[in-house]
Amino acid sequence: METAKFIVITGHYGCGKTNFAVNAALDIAKTGEKVTVVDLDIVNPYFRTADFKELLNSVGAELTVPMYANSNLDIPALDFDLIGLKKREGRIIIDVGGDDEGSKALGRFLPVLQGDSVMLYVVNKYRYLTSTPEEALELMREIEYASGLKCSGIINNSNLGEETNAETVRNSLKYAEELSRTAGIPVAATCCKAEYANGLPAAYPVKVYVKKPWEE
Amino acid sequence: MAEKSLMKGNEALAEAALRAGCKCFFGYPITPQTEISAYLSKRMPKVGGTFLQAESEVAAINMVYGCASSGIRCMTSSSSPGISLKTEGISYIAGADLPCVVINVQRGGPGLGGIQPSQADYWQVTHALGHGDFHALVFAPASVQEMVDTVTKAFDLADEFRMPAVILADGLLGQMMEPVQFDDAEIVLSDASKKPWAANGHQNKRKHNIINSLYLQPDQLEDKVAERFKRYEKVKAEHSEAVADYCDDADTVVVAYGSTARLAKSAVEAARKEGMKVGIIRPVTLWPFPVKQIQKACENAKNVLVVEMSMGQMIDDVKLAINCSKPVEFYGRTGGVIPKPAEILAKIKEMGGKN
């Protein structure tokens, strides 16, 4: 993947940023490189990276979460500083909250991130408000504006949750290509289960870690 | 049918309301239901409806009271503490025989409680959603698609019986994502055309329609309440709903609703795999409570297990439904803690030796 210190993961609410962030962190850790995941979600009270502390720690990956994440204190407080984190060895994956609202949290860290980060834009064709390349591009621009950073790659994470099959993924390729063409940045990865990866452009086999409590 | 899409429960409830013709939404933000407001604030103006963020929950429910009086389909949504604030208004709406839909995406309580999922508002929604002798229709969907389908049903039955309808969700159902499908029908926002009682301007063509819940004479009020309770009997006879699985030969029948039913079903299926005779019945309507369906599901059972995300509230209605004819036990977590299927399975096993 990219060589920058910070990998910033943005996208629409519910497009699968967290699942991608967890997969990417586990894969980086597997190569022996150090990796830290930062949960920068100031929007979502449920289903967030903070849920995966044990899993990440089990492969030697670190997790930094806001002190109130997953507590009953529903406030967007970020009680840490990326300057400190920058001194840490290895990669730092930042899982950002959804939409431009979530991306505002990046603004404060801009001086740290500029020049040493890549921002990836996760999309899901099957999510409302980003189901056409035009809508997805519009939101990408809003996120870039809110964060002060430019997206450099598209992560096509198109899925229908538990009903995802090979066709679901295949039917999203054109959408991702069209977004790539209009946005002027490449499709960096097409996320799918390993069994569907064959023949897909930039296929990135992922596991589904973000689950509902009855699926565990 | 349109292509499937992946939606959060809250978003799906909001879109479903539009498709049911809900023209006006009055709300006030509270976690974990805020996406309903956020979604409608973007969508309502595009389809010619009205989204209004009120100054408080009390204001929002009274806006619903006014809007419903004019015969237009309208809705409000909140989470537990906000619903408590709305109860006065809901009572007035029931007292004025008006239809509306109220969504409660429950969180932990009492008081400010927490923001994680809970089912601790069961007593409130089924027994005391405001002062006075009245009921509201209460639906407890268990999936995002079912929430979509329930919204239309809630509006239709609220109109038919001129009473408030509540969709009782919880933070888990509101926040989780599942594939959903809407039908292709064009969005047609409601008007008052089929509501001759609506106070929407008489145009000098008919008498005034007066919307009111105040009765100056006790016997008039008694007559009115009695008439309303006759309607409730019809609702009870025709609209109670439950889904039973694996109950026919079950020694233990689990009763659970909403997201807890999903957790319990996963435990029941695990028990079946181990050869235990366990079934599950899920009340889909909490008022009217599916008494007959529960009686039937528990007919051959030795014992019954009620699972809730509370200290045990629906359990009383289950005991009444089966006239306390067999032991009814309880397993639950509260305060925003979600019971794990493995915990429920352990309880089922514990009960396996008893009769």
| CATH label of the domain that carries residue A21 | 3.40.50.300
Q: Are residues B232 and B268 in the same domain?
A: no
Domain residues for the domain of B32 are 5-201+226-237
pLDDT per residue as tens digits for the range B243-262: 999 999 999 999 999 999 99
Report DSSP state, residue A196: G
Q: Are residues B82 and B128 in the same domain?
A: yes
pLDDT per residue as tens digits for the range B320-348: 999 999 999 999 999 999 999 999 999 99
Question: Could you give the percent of chain B with pLDDT greater than 90?
Answer: 95
Domain residues for the domain of A151 are 6-211
Residues with Cβ within 8 Å of A78's Cβ and at least 6 positions away in sequence, in order, are: A40, A42, A66, A105, A108
Contacts B35 to A, Cβ<8 Å: 13
Instruction: Give Cα A123 to chain centroid, integer Å.
Output: 9
pLDDT per residue as tens digits for the range B40-97: 999 999 999 999 999 999 999 999 999 999 999 999 999 999 999 999 999 999 999 9
Chain B closest CA to A38's CA: distance in Å?
21
Task: Tell me if B212 is assigned to some domain.
Answer: no
Task: Tell me if B220 is assigned to some domain.
Answer: no
Is the Cβ of B2 closer than 8 Å to some Cβ of chain A? no
Q: Residue B201: left if φ>0, alpha if ψ -120 to 50, beta else—which one?
A: left
DSSP class per residue in B215-230? -SSHHHHHHHHHHHHH
Q: Are residues B231 and B94 in the same domain?
A: yes
Question: Could you give the percent of chain A with pLDDT greater than 70?
Answer: 99
Look up the CATH number of the domain holding residue B317: 3.40.50.920
Cα(B355)–Cα(B353) distance, integer angstroms: 7
CB A151 within 8 A of CB A118: no
Is the Cβ of B108 closer than 8 Å to some Cβ of chain A? yes
Chain A closest CA to B174's CA: distance in Å?
10
- Is beta strand A91-96 parallel, antiparallel or unpaired with respect to A35-40? parallel
Say if the Cβ atoms of A45 and B32 lie within 8 Å: yes
Amino acid letter, A157: N
Q: Are residues B152 and B287 in the same domain?
A: no
Chain A residue whose CA is closest to B4: A126
Interface-testing mutation among A41, A43, A71, A72, with chain B (most B C-beta atoms within 10 A): A72
- Model confidence, pTM: 0.94
Q: Are residues B79 and B188 in the same domain?
A: yes
Q: Are residues B249 and B196 in the same domain?
A: no
pLDDT of residue B355: 46
Interface-testing mutation among B7, B175, B177, B178, with chain A (most A C-beta atoms within 10 A): B177
DSSP class per residue in A156-176? E----GGG--HHHHHTTHHHH
The helix-helix angle for B80-95 and B57-69 (nearest 10°) equals 30
Is the Cβ of B300 closer than 8 Å to some Cβ of chain A? no
Task: Tell me if B124 is assigned to some domain.
Answer: yes
Residue B122 has pLDDT above 50, yes or no: yes
* Closest Cβ–Cβ partner in A45, A46, A124 for B6: A124
pLDDT per residue as tens digits for the range B185-194: 888 998 888 8
Task: Tell me if B213 is assigned to some domain.
Answer: no
Please identify among residues 266-285 of chain B the ones whose CB lies closer than 8 Å to any CB of chain A: 266
pLDDT per residue as tens digits for the range A154-166: 999 999 999 999 9
Q: Are residues B231 and B340 in the same domain?
A: no
Q: Please state which of the ranges A57-71, B70-84, B85-99, B132-146 shows the lowest mean pLDDT.
A: A57-71
Task: Tell me if A216 is assigned to some domain.
Answer: no
Cα(B271)–Cα(B279) distance, integer angstroms: 9
Task: Tell me if A1 is assigned to some domain.
Answer: no
- Taking alpha carbons only, the member of A10, A16, A8 closest to residue A127 is A16
Task: Tell me if B19 is assigned to some domain.
Answer: yes
Chain A closest CA to B8's CA: distance in Å?
8
Say if the Cβ atoms of A213 and B338 lie within 8 Å: yes
SS3 at position A24: helix
Say if the Cβ atoms of A46 and B172 lie within 8 Å: yes
* Closest Cβ–Cβ partner in A74, A127, A214 for B31: A74
Residues with Cβ within 8 Å of A180's Cβ and at least 6 positions away in sequence, in order, are: A154, A186, A187
Number of domains in chain A: 1
Say if the Cβ atoms of B340 and A213 lie within 8 Å: yes
Is the Cβ of B262 closer than 8 Å to some Cβ of chain A? yes
Report DSSP state, residue B47: G
Number of domains in chain B: 2
Q: What mean pLDDT value characterizes chain A?
A: 91
Mean pLDDT of B281-305: 98
